[in-house]
Chains A and B, each alone.
Chain A
Amino acid sequence: MEASLRAHRPAALLIFAFLSLIAVSSSAAQEIQILNAERRIDLSSQVAIVFLTLKVENTGKAAASDVILAFPPTEADHLAEVKAQAASGKKRKKTYAHLIVEPTDVPDAPNGAKGFRVALLNPLSPGETSTIEVLYMLTHSMEPFPAEISQSDPQLVYYRDSAYILSPYRIKQQTTFIKTPSTNVQSFSRVEPTNRASMELKYGPYEDLPAYSYAPVLVHFENNNPFAVVEELVREVEISHWGNLQITEHYTLAHGGAKLKGVFSRVEYQSRPSASGVSSFKNLLARLPPRVHSVYYRDEIGNISSSRLRTDSRKSELEIEPRYPLFGGWKSTFIIGYGLPLEDFLFESTDGKRYLNFTFGCPLSGTVVDKLTVKVVLPEGSKDPTAIIPFPVEEHMETKYSYLDVVGRPVLVLEKKNVVPEHNIPFQVYYSFNPIFMLAEPLMLVSTVFFLFASCVAYLHIDISIRKG
């Protein structure tokens, strides 16, 4: 396999070299080159986590205010999160400043490569250098091969990437490290110089490569980490001003790894747990906020009894087991619900508005969420909801009718694809609410009962017989 890959490489290299020739001439508006690039790809979980350190130099005449990162289209689809920070200062006293990253169009990018623009804190004046650290994550970037395995087989996956960092700039020197979860690496492509040391593959250093250089590499290795994929997660956060925040989470969980071929033997699974079903998983950990109460874990046919809740003052951990262990390709659905004290999450802002401060992402640790919908159900009668979220999401409004509602509760729906645990950061929903609405439903009940009694009294005092007797 390695041989065939190697045969592919020169051809691809040629193409990219050709493309980059065209590219260089046009992207000269901002003349930036990268002096040194180091990329560390961590493949030890189901998410590929990439640390990219770029030392950027402005070789042009004008000051450069931003740096473009380029991703091949296949990677861009799986890109869950891109973060960048600028490092300044010397080694010991390094300080980091967060940089804004946003998707941008790179008009001259070859083969539909997608670009992300990193806005620098201070424009880079000509001749100056700066160090940018970029962290990005790729979901579903490891493809199981063979795609179907039996219960006793380990799970092998392919990881595809380029030995060269895709960049719209010329890179003077670059190195790529790929970390695999085990020493069992079946095969890997070579783009000399390539080294392998137990769990790490080293590609490079490569000197002086033109922009948009590309050299596809393929790594085939064992990865038995649970590929727990939440295909769809709907989180409903319902605010009650009577003091409770009710969270209901609907999960559609799947095992995204190599599919189980045919037989599942319980006797093998139970008697040889180490050798059988190594890539399967049977429990998950949900990290919930502290002071959680009334936790339930069920699915559409009833309660699932296999769960455990541990709480302390700082966090709550809910350990859940789906009804059956999940093997490759198996699915399961379940619902987790819990209540939280409202004062921990709802605050009043200075302008009199109220705001909810809550975590966005999926509380299950080590999972990837393909589609996350967060529904913030505001109390009946609240107005002007606005959400402040540190990353782009789609949002729209709905109306929900719950206990004895008349006009319905406004629901702010936030949708995001490709969510990884790094998205578990707080977001805020601001809205205005008049506390008088809290009394609407109790008053309604009271008046109903009152009218009931009143009508009873009236009935007893009215003679409705036709004939007086």
Chain B
Amino acid sequence: MASPESAVNGPTSSTAAASKSLRNAFGGVIAFIILVLIGVLAFSIRLFSVIKYESVIHEFDPYFNYRVTQFLSKNGIYDFWNWFDDRTWYPLGRVIGGTVYPGLTLTAGTIWKVVNSLNIPLSVETVCVFTAPIFSAFASWAAYLLTKEVKGPGAGLTAAALLAMVPSYISRSVAGSYDNEAVAIFALVFTFYLYIKTLNTGSLFYATLNALAYFYMVCSWGGYTFIINLIPMHVLLCIVTGRYSSRLYIAYAPLVVLGTLLASLVPVVGFNAVLTSEHFASFLVFIIIHVVALAYYIKGILSPKMFKVAVTLVVSVGLAVCCAVIAILIAVVASSPTKGWSGRSLTLLDPTYASKYIPIIASVSEHQPPTWPSYFMDINVLAFLVPAGIIACFMPLTDSSSFVILYIVTSVYFSGVMVRLMLVLAPAACILSGIALSEAFNVLTRSIKFQLPGIAGNPSIASEENGSSTVVAPNDIPKTEKTEEAAKEKPAKKNRKKEKENVEKKPTPSKTEKRLLVLPLEASVIAVLLLVLLGAFYVVHCVWAAAEAYSAPSIVLTSHSNDGGLHVFDDFREAYSWLSHNTDVDDKVASWWDYGYQTTAMANRTVLVDNNTWNNTHIATVGTAMSSPEKQAWEIFHSLDVKYVLVVFGGVVGYPSDDINKFLWMVRIGGGVFPHIKEPDYLRDGQYRIDAQATPTMLNCLMYKLSYFRFVETDGKGFDRVRRTEIGKKHFKLTHFEEVFTTHHWMVRIYKLKPQRNRIRGKTKKSKSSRSVSSKRDVRGKRNPWH
């Protein structure tokens, strides 16, 4: 942006410098105001959930995070690290401090503590609800910084504005969605920014900051492995393409050393930071970069002839060493059953892996591959702008723009594997779309400006400000004029600031702008209008997505009745509230793992399994119990001290994600560990059905019975509104369970295990009766996995 100053005819060089610096200052102020507004936008677009519903924690995982934060704020950090949670995974329990990514909870806990030390009585819940919107504002600022490093502040502002409202990110960071990703995306983008910044400046200060940002990312989310693989890939790319520099070394080597050290401080990562395959790429590249650095150094001190000799020597020795190292590595890796990779990582490399081997990962909807509509839904027009952005990044290709390209390519792949990782794609898409939009405006407005008489302004500044915000673009030309007038009136003072900005701007390429590309005036005007229209369409879509699609807290459901009234289905909380007030505090509640976090957080009751899903066998046991006949199920539950069984049933009001629809996963996961549960037993001709055609195994399993107990009495026919069919078995009695609570819309039903029946008729002797029980158990041994 510095060079086209020469195009301005008239002012002497000194006034030109003064007006330029003032323009910079004004640009800085405007950019600052725009950034603040972007932050406000990012925050407020996520408040739809609070306005439309209420200030409440959403969904499942956020409830766990909320509970951990409550514990942290109540008991302090040391108790938090040592927290053994006996309310979950009964009877195993869970060591919370060592198995959670603590970044989110520590962040919210710190905010809560600071706010309360100022005597502002915000509850932990309020802080948790609003953590995600706050951090999405931070994330858009981080996106500004990153894109500014790559393509200048105009592109940065555009990217920040796009990221502030990208639906994919909104889906994970609306107010109340208190999940790891909410802070992790900020940490991800900020780490990338610091990496690029270090790469551009070669400053060790930024390199250290980068390691700290990486540490925060490791604290926050398991997705940190993306960083620790992407950056080495980029470093390797730079080396291979002959772009090695000392800046690259400074950007990379401290990150690996410090980052790995810091990462292993996080209990949940620990020695995984050096032991698992996810991290090996970084070490390999670490070795390579040192070899390359050594080679460059030696090249510098030796004569070319000597260097050739040295190369042959080193290559032969190095090859031998490398072979040895690789052999050792392979041996180490091969000794572990999953080749050192965790299940989720393997799913990323081989998308079919989970569905083949780990049903529990495959059963989660967010681990499924996305469909094409979901791309349109989640990143909308960015999908079309990204290719343009990639092209813009190639003109010219710098270290930083090649990084962005690498980022988008890998994240597109990952998002194709798991719908959840669309979240990683979103910032990349925003950055590239920001670059594309900014460049397009740059070219178009410059064409307009050169052809419009009377405005012989500075094209670069105009384009920059145009690029800052897509919507206000057409209004920018008068604003620029005003700025220039103002610039002439007042002399500049902030020399220091000017210098600073110049330093910052040095790495951004300025050569392209010399190559004036003038398009026809009409075409440019139309193109600008079309781009504005595209931006407007994006905004409309994002607001719609934020308001309608992603704001539902999922524990409260609403439906609009015909007369326009709003009907609220608050059954989940009704059930949890009932459990928390009317059962004993130490009672164990069995349910499918989806509801584990909510039960511990809202009902404060001990559960067998929860959304952490770390113990497949335990989940399979619950799955087996749910798919067993009543008696066997009672025995399994009884052996686990269960007092209440909770099922979610949507048949009365048509709530589709109920337990009957999830039931096949219970069968699959149960059958994976206890082979007597066979999926075909529950299917009639390969079809899953609950009507009269259903198999007897299906109609007699516990889940069916608990869901449909006395259901027929509601309408006389037993018509299930989710499956749109009449149920197969209508009248039956429960022998081992009794209904203790059903919510208003029948969505949650709670049953109590009946106490063990008294043994009568001649079995008076205790020893005899116990022997008969054990013999009975032996007979049944195959059916009940716990005996």
| A301-B577 contact, Cβ under 8 Å, with A263-B738, A265-B739, A331-B582 | yes
Residues of A within 8 A of B576 (CB): 301
* Contacting pair A262 B714 (CB below 8 A): no
Q: Mark A416-458, 1 if CB is under 8 A from B, else 0.
A: 0000000000000000000000000000000000000000000
Interface of chain B, main secondary structure:
mixed
* Contacting pair B739 A302 (CB below 8 A): no
Q: Mark A317-356, 1 if CB is under 8 A from B, else 0.
A: 0000001100001111100000000000000000000000
Q: Interface-forming stretch among A52-60, A115-123, A399-407?
A: A399-407
Q: Interface-forming stretch among B156-164, B237-245, B658-666, B741-749?
A: B741-749
* Contacting pair B578 A304 (CB below 8 A): no
CA distance A301 to B119 in the complex (A): 23
* Contacting pair B743 A271 (CB below 8 A): no
* Contacting pair B746 A323 (CB below 8 A): no
- Give the number of residues in A that approach B within 8 Å (Cβ atoms): 28
| A323-B574 contact, Cβ under 8 Å, with A401-B119, A404-B118 | yes
- Cβ of A94 under 8 Å from chain B: no
Q: Mark B140-176, 1 if CB is under 8 A from A, else 0.
A: 0000000000000000000000000000000000000
Select A266's contact among B56, B602, B746, beta carbons within 8 Å: B746
Q: How far is the CB of A447 from chain B (nearest CB, A)?
A: 14
Residues of B within 8 A of A200 (CB): none
* Contacting pair A264 B741 (CB below 8 A): yes
* Contacting pair A324 B577 (CB below 8 A): yes
Residues of A within 8 A of B738 (CB): 262-263
Select A264's contact among B118, B570, B742, beta carbons within 8 Å: B742
Residues of A within 8 A of B714 (CB): 267, 270-271
Q: Which residue of B lies closest to A334 (CB)?
A: B577
Select A305's contact among B568, B602, B740, B742, beta carbons within 8 Å: B568
Q: In the complex, which residues 56-71 of chain B have their Cβ closer than 8 Å to any Cβ of chain A?
A: 56
Residues of B within 8 A of A264 (CB): 739-742
| A271-B713 contact, Cβ under 8 Å, with A265-B739, A303-B56, A323-B578 | yes
* Contacting pair B119 A402 (CB below 8 A): yes
Select A304's contact among B120, B570, B710, B744, beta carbons within 8 Å: B570
Select A263's contact among B54, B121, B739, beta carbons within 8 Å: B739
CA distance A262 to B582 in the complex (A): 12
Residues of A within 8 A of B119 (CB): 401-406
- Cβ of B581 under 8 Å from chain A: yes
CA distance A424 to B602 in the complex (A): 34
* Contacting pair B118 A331 (CB below 8 A): no
Q: How far is the CB of A259 from chain B (nearest CB, A)?
A: 11
CA distance A270 to B740 in the complex (A): 15
* Contacting pair B741 A301 (CB below 8 A): no
Residues of A within 8 A of B736 (CB): none
Residues of A within 8 A of B505 (CB): none
- Cβ of A75 under 8 Å from chain B: no
* Contacting pair B739 A305 (CB below 8 A): no
Select A265's contact among B120, B574, B742, beta carbons within 8 Å: B742
* Contacting pair A263 B740 (CB below 8 A): yes
Select B713's contact among A267, A302, A305, beta carbons within 8 Å: A267
- Cβ of B783 under 8 Å from chain A: no
* Contacting pair A301 B578 (CB below 8 A): no
CA distance A229 to B752 in the complex (A): 26
Q: Which residue of A lies closest to B569 (CB)?
A: A305
Residues of B within 8 A of A332 (CB): 577, 581
Q: How far is the CB of B580 from chain A (nearest CB, A)?
A: 8
- Cβ of B573 under 8 Å from chain A: yes
- Cβ of A153 under 8 Å from chain B: no
- Cβ of A299 under 8 Å from chain B: yes
Q: Which residue of A lies closest to B712 (CB)?
A: A267
CA distance A270 to B570 in the complex (A): 17
Residues of A within 8 A of B570 (CB): 304-306, 323
Q: Mark A387-418, 1 if CB is under 8 A from B, else 0.
A: 00000000000000111111000000000000
Residues of B within 8 A of A401 (CB): 119, 121
CA distance A323 to B603 in the complex (A): 13
* Contacting pair A324 B739 (CB below 8 A): no
| A266-B742 contact, Cβ under 8 Å, with A305-B568, A333-B581, A404-B118 | yes
Q: Name 9 interchain pairs, CB-CB below 8 A, sorted by A.
A: A263-B738, A266-B741, A266-B743, A267-B714, A267-B742, A301-B602, A323-B570, A323-B577, A329-B582
In the complex, given contacts A267-B710, A270-B714, A303-B56, what are 7 additional A-B residue pairs having Cβ atoms less than 8 angstroms apart? A262-B752, A267-B742, A302-B556, A305-B570, A330-B582, A401-B121, A402-B119
A contact residues vs B (CB 8 Å cutoff): 262-267, 270-271, 299, 301-306, 323-324, 329-333, 401-406
